[in-house]
Amino acid sequence: MPGNTGTYLIRGASILGGAPADLLIRDGVIAETGTGLSADGATVIDAAALVALPGMVDVHTHLREPGREDAETVETGTRAAALGGYTAVHAMANSTPVADTAGVVEQVYSLGRAAGWVDVRPVGAVTVGLAGEQLAELGAMADSRARVRMFSDDGICVHDPVLMRRALEYVKAFDGVVAQHAQEPRLTAGAQMNEGEVSAVLGLTGWPAVAEESIIARDVLLAQHVGSRLHVCHVSTAGSVEIIRWAKQRGINVTAEVTPHHLLLTDDLVRSYDPVFKVNPPLRTDADVQALRAGLADGTIDVVGTDHAPHPSEHKECEWAQAAMGMTGLETALSVVQHTMIETGMMTWADFARVTSTAAARIGRLEDQGRPLEAGEPANVILVDPAARWTVDPYRMATMGRNSPFKGRELPGKVVATFFKGHPTVLDGGLNTPFPYAAAPAGAA
């Protein structure tokens, strides 16, 4: 049922980078598409130089609330998301308390609605307290108001093979997916960075590629054995891409994600010992970067997930070994993907829509997201200026995290407008207003 969110006529936008067309957005849906559209009382947006895309869907966001409101809140994180072109984010479960009960996921869901900038879809923990010992009440979270479909102990690998098997089996009951943080714990005890040429010189404990690849290999075989759905978080190595390609060729129901930073940055940056480059999984080599780009282009990797991980500055202004792992990403993802995938000729804007929206919505089972830009569809739409160039300044971002590894880089592409359920959360490249849940009929939610 449509809500009364106003009428917007977008004129002459390049639809998914293709032919220009008008989009008439009215009461939460795309009412009409075509050329030469008109509508009385509509706010007209000249989009002649802009690309229209479905609102982006992040499968991997850390909003830090509840528990670490000094790092990020649902409000600030979703403002960042809207500015970055997102209309939905999956909030990871490693909050304090952990999102391992219906109560916590409903709290996060409610905070998301109260903020109103994007759909906040909580991810439920696979195990109680992320402890890897006993299954959390997955069913209760699935049946809650938050309708959780993605479950992950992200940050910690579900390394016990029996527990992983049971989780994969159990979520079949409600069409869930287990999103695995693939990291063999024994092979990565104390790990600080990618294990290889650079770690050898820097004297930092290595995080070997095999620690990721061995878990992915095990998990795709488990998913095949029990006939379940597996999602692999933040794939970072060339070997992982090969294993997932092999699994897909065998018909195994696996999806995979890559972060923007793994598409661009390498472990050479760690030579600075600047913890802004400390992340888990770690930055890898150029050969890995190239394999990840190829995997994303050919569909082996399904989606881009930001792994947006804001940290307070004191967790980064310290020794490398003391620093927290993680990077912000919501406000730079579009630009980095444009830079690494579109401007290299490896992908089109239609491919971009697939990896940042359509496929991501399908993995998370978000029915109103990642839809075609056609009449009758929910109006989750963004307008992007692909010719824009900007220099990343973490102090000018909406996220509270200042830990952007892209600081000082010039990147292409800027989100000009974000329509969330037909309402402009972002206009003229700046925040507008949140979606007016209170004013809209209940059905619009």
Partner 1 sequence: MKHLLSTQDLSRTNAIRILDTAEEMAAVGDREVKKLPALRGRTVVNLFFEDSTRTRISFEAAAKRLSADVINFAAKGSSVSKGESLKDTAQTLSAMGADAVVIRHWASGAPHRLAATDWIDAAVINAGDGTHEHPTQALLDAFTMRRHWAKLAGTESEGADLKGMRVAIAGDVLHSRVARSNVWLLQTLGADVTLVAPPTLLPIGVEKWPCEVSYNLDETLAQGVDAVMMLRVQGERMNASYFPSTREYSRRWGFDDNRLKALDRFGLKDTIIMHPGPMNRGLEISAAAADSPRSTVLAQVRNGVSVRMAALYLLLSGDTREAAAAPVLASAGAAHSTKESN
With the C-alpha atoms ordered 129, 133, 137, 142, is the resulting torsion angle positive or negative? positive
Q: How many other CB atoms sit within 10 Å of the CB of residue 374?
A: 11
**CA-based radius of gyration for the chain:** 21
Q: Which stretch binds partner 1 (CB under 8 A): 4-12, 116-124, 194-202, 218-226?
A: 194-202
| Residue whose token pair is 């697939």 | 354
Under the binding rule (CB under 8 A), the answer on residue 320 touching partner 1 is yes
Instruction: Give the CA angle between residues 308, 412, 117 to the nearest 5°.
Output: 45
* Closer Cβ to partner 1, 131 or 318, answer by number: 318
Q: Which stretch binds partner 1 (CB under 8 A): 15-23, 170-178, 202-210, 334-342?
A: 202-210
Q: Which stretch binds partner 1 (CB under 8 A): 251-259, 312-320, 402-410, 435-443?
A: 312-320
Under the binding rule (CB under 8 A), the answer on residue 312 touching partner 1 is no
Residue type, 178: V
Give the residue, chosen from 197, 268, 298, 367, that forms a contact with partner 1 under the rule CB under 8 A: 197
* Closer Cβ to partner 1, 203 or 408, answer by number: 203
Under the binding rule (CB under 8 A), the answer on residue 236 touching partner 1 is no
307 included as an active-site residue: yes
Under the binding rule (CB under 8 A), the answer on residue 375 touching partner 1 is no
Beta bridge partners of 119: 88
**Angle separating helix axes 209-226 and 161-170, nearest 10 degrees:** 50
Residues 6+ apart with CB under 8 A from 345: none
**Alpha-helical runs (H) found in 238-339:** 238-249, 260-264, 286-297, 333-337
Under the binding rule (CB under 8 A), the answer on residue 190 touching partner 1 is no
| Residue whose token pair is 């509840």 | 66
CB of 321 to partner 1, least distance (A): 4
Give the residue, chosen from 196, 372, 412, 429, that forms a contact with partner 1 under the rule CB under 8 A: 196
Q: Which stretch binds partner 1 (CB under 8 A): 16-24, 87-95, 105-113, 318-326?
A: 318-326
CB of 96 to partner 1, least distance (A): 20
Could you give the CA distance from residue 11 to residue 14 in angstroms, rounded to a whole number?
Answer: 9
Q: Which stretch binds partner 1 (CB under 8 A): 116-124, 319-327, 337-345, 430-438?
A: 319-327
Please say whether the beta carbons of 378 and 1 come within 8 A. no
CB of 274 to partner 1, least distance (A): 7
Beta bridge partners of 418: 382, 426
Site for partner 1 in 91-120 (CB under 8 A): none
Burial of residue 9 (CB within 10 Å: 0-12, 13-18, 19+) is buried
Structure tokens at 39: 């509508």
Give the residue, chosen from 203, 345, 408, 443, that forms a contact with partner 1 under the rule CB under 8 A: 203
Could you give the CA distance from residue 80 to residue 289 in angstroms, rounded to a whole number?
Answer: 26
Active-site choice (307, 351, 368, 385): 307
Q: Which stretch binds partner 1 (CB under 8 A): 42-50, 72-80, 166-174, 193-201?
A: 193-201
* Closer Cβ to partner 1, 8 or 207, answer by number: 207
- Of 168, 160, 254, the residue nearest 215 (C-alpha): 160
Q: What are phi and psi of 175, to 5 degrees?
A: 55, 35
Under the binding rule (CB under 8 A), the answer on residue 437 touching partner 1 is no
DSSP letter, residue 356: I
Residue type, 317: E
Under the binding rule (CB under 8 A), the answer on residue 422 touching partner 1 is no
Could you give the CA distance from residue 178 to residue 231 in angstroms, rounded to a whole number?
Answer: 6
Give the residue, chosen from 46, 314, 367, 393, that forms a contact with partner 1 under the rule CB under 8 A: 314
Under the binding rule (CB under 8 A), the answer on residue 269 touching partner 1 is no
Under the binding rule (CB under 8 A), the answer on residue 139 touching partner 1 is no
Site for partner 1 in 24-53 (CB under 8 A): none
Could you give the CA distance from residue 374 to residue 371 in angstroms, rounded to a whole number?
Answer: 8
Could you give the CA distance from residue 141 to residue 99 in angstroms, rounded to a whole number?
Answer: 9
CB of 73 to partner 1, least distance (A): 24
Under the binding rule (CB under 8 A), the answer on residue 304 touching partner 1 is no
Under the binding rule (CB under 8 A), the answer on residue 286 touching partner 1 is no
* Closer Cβ to partner 1, 13 or 198, answer by number: 198
Under the binding rule (CB under 8 A), the answer on residue 206 touching partner 1 is yes
Q: Which residues bind partner 1 (CB under 8 A)?
A: 192, 195-206, 208, 272-274, 314, 317-322
Residues tagged active-site: 307
